[in-house]
């Protein structure tokens, strides 16, 4: 078993149940680093909240501190800041960017309504330190080992798209039987969160992954033991065949170093190390919803595929802001109930 910062992951559940705006008899959650902190019931509560045309407003006196590594510039951190800006524009909340953790006494006046959002460079150890030092509800906006908000946003978007199709009965759960194809490197926070989500939501996840960029073995092992429908391959064709959604990730990049694996999960050879070709999508899943989570690193994709993914990514950005709103609302309800 590969030891990673997520191995031995602690839950932020509180051992009590109470009434909240998200329903009765709900397990309390103090902070969210990964989808496992929410658990199955709460994941579905958040997804159903995202069905609403207009989300309930956040508390007017809510203060959000965004802790990010401002020594780096990346699309991910800009995405987080843009989402937070959109959230403050539509809700009467205050947001402040910080570069170091505040002490709990510094928030004495607003502790009851202050959240700490952690962005991009967060490790699990840093997340634990943040919660222990500040005594604030903490939310992981997405980092290299976990990206729960993006996973919830994408699943909510797919759920809406599928539900809008005429042949889908209103009594059927839209995500039931959904087949997601992931191509390219899977050592990312979003890949880890989708693997976690497959433990709680009945979709299939087919991953065509390069040997040097496999997903976290510990999370994968946990999901498979829980009965998640995850299939790993080196062949893009096998992953794409019949997919309803395609994550066209980067096959490789010079901007990061592959993790050292004790032994590859998949021993056969294939074309997962090669750039994804549009012709493969047209042949195996022409109607699939295509997304490029690593847009700046996907220059090896065709212009037509990138244009299609860019349009879809605009929808993803909207849903990310809504998912950030919904998870913030969820944490606020937990704090009020406690």
Judge whether 5 lies within some domain: no
Could you tell me if 161 and 310 lie in one domain? yes
Stronger pLDDT, 87 or 223, i.e. the higher one? 223
Could you tell me if 82 and 159 lie in one domain? no
Could you tell me if 218 and 291 lie in one domain? yes
Highest averaged pLDDT of the listed ranges 124-128, 251-255, 276-280, 327-331? 327-331
Could you tell me if 163 and 242 lie in one domain? yes
pLDDT at residue 215 is higher than 70: yes
pLDDT at position 295, please?
Answer: 56
pLDDT at position 285, please?
Answer: 93
pLDDT at position 245, please?
Answer: 93
- Residue 67 CA to chain centroid, in angstroms? 18
Average pLDDT over residues 85-101: 83
Could you tell me if 112 and 219 lie in one domain? no
Average pLDDT over residues 220-235: 94
Could you tell me if 23 and 172 lie in one domain? no
Could you tell me if 167 and 306 lie in one domain? yes
pLDDT at residue 179 is higher than 90: yes
Going by pLDDT thresholds of 50, 70 and 90, the confidence category of residue 195 is very high
How many domains in the chain? 2
> How many other CB atoms sit within 10 Å of the CB of residue 108?
10
Judge whether 6 lies within some domain: no
**Which H, E and C letters describe the chain, residue by residue?**
CCCCCCCCCCCCEEEEEEEECCEEEEEEECCECCHHHHHHHHHHHHHHHCCCCCCCCCCCCCEEEEECCCCCCCHHHHHHHHHHHHHHHHCCCEEEEECCCCCHHHHCCCHHHEEEEEEECCCHHHHHHHHHHHCCCEEEEEECCCCHHHHHHHHHHHHHHHHCCCCCCCCCCCCCCCEEEEECCCCCHHHHHHHHHCCCCCCEEEEECCHHHCCCHHHHHHHHHCCCEEEEECCHHHHHCCCCEEEECCCCCCCCCCCCCCCCCCCCCCCCCCCCCHHHHHHHCCCCEEECCCHHHCCCCCHHHHHHHHHHHHHHHHHHHHHHHHHHHHHHHHHHHC
Could you tell me if 187 and 167 lie in one domain? yes
pLDDT digits (tens, 9 = 90+) for 274-315: 767 788 888 999 989 998 876 545 555 677 777 777 788 888
Judge whether 222 lies within some domain: yes
pLDDT at position 1, please?
Answer: 30
Could you tell me if 204 and 270 lie in one domain? yes
Judge whether 8 lies within some domain: no
Judge whether 70 lies within some domain: yes
Judge whether 91 lies within some domain: yes
pLDDT at position 279, please?
Answer: 85
pLDDT at residue 138 is higher than 50: yes
Could you tell me if 136 and 162 lie in one domain? no
- Residue 109 CA to chain centroid, in angstroms? 32
Domain span including residue 197:
148-316
Judge whether 240 lies within some domain: yes
**pTM, full prediction:** 0.84
Could you tell me if 163 and 288 lie in one domain? yes
Could you tell me if 235 and 325 lie in one domain? no
Residue 183 β-bridge partners: 208, 248
What CATH number does residue 63 fall under?
Answer: 3.40.50.1370
Average pLDDT over residues 161-184: 83
- Tokens (6 digits) for 180: 């997601």
Average pLDDT over residues 26-31: 70
Q: How large a percentage of the chain has pLDDT more than 70?
A: 74
Judge whether 1 lies within some domain: no
pLDDT at position 32, please?
Answer: 94
Average pLDDT over residues 76-91: 82
């Amino acid at each position: 078993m590969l030891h990673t910062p997520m191995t031995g992951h602690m839950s932020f559940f509180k051992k009590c149940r109470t009434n909240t705006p998200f329903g009765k008899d709900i397990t309390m959650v103090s902070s969210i680093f990964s989808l496992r902190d929410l658990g199955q019931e709460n994941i579905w509560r958040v997804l159903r909240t995202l069905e609403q045309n207009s989300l309930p407003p956040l508390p007017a006196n809510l203060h959000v501190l965004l802790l990010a590594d401002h020594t780096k510039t990346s699309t991910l951190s800009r995405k987080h800041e843009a989402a937070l800006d959109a959230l403050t524009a539509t809700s009467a909340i205050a947001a402040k960017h910080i570069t170091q953790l505040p002490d709990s006494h510094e928030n004495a006046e607003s502790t009851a309504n202050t959240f700490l959002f952690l962005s991009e460079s967060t490790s699990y150890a840093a997340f634990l330190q943040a919660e222990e030092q500040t005594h604030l509800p903490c939310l992981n906006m997405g980092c290299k080992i976990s990206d729960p908000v993006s996973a919830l946003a994408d699943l909510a978007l797919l759920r809406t798209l599928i539900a809008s199709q005429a042949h889908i009965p209103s009594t059927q759960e839209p995500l039931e039987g959904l087949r997601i194809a992931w191509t390219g490197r899977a050592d990312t926070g979003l890949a880890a969160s989708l693997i976690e989500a497959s433990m709680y939501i009945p979709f299939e996840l087919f991953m065509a992954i390069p040997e040097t960029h496999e997903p976290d073995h510990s999370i994968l092992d946990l999901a498979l033991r829980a009965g998640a429908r995850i299939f790993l391959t080196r062949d893009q064709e096998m992953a794409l065949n019949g997919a309803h959604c395609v994550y066209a990730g980067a096959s490789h990049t010079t901007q990061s170093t592959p993790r050292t694996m004790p032994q590859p999960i998949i021993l056969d050879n294939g074309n997962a190390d090669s750039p994804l070709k549009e012709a493969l999508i047209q042949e195996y899943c022409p109607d699939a919803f295509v997304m490029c989570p690593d847009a700046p690193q996907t220059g090896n994709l065709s212009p037509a595929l990138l244009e299609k993914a860019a349009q879809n990514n605009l929808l993803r950005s909207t849903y990310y802001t809504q998912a950030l709103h919904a998870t913030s609302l969820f944490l606020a309800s937990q704090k009020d109930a406690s």
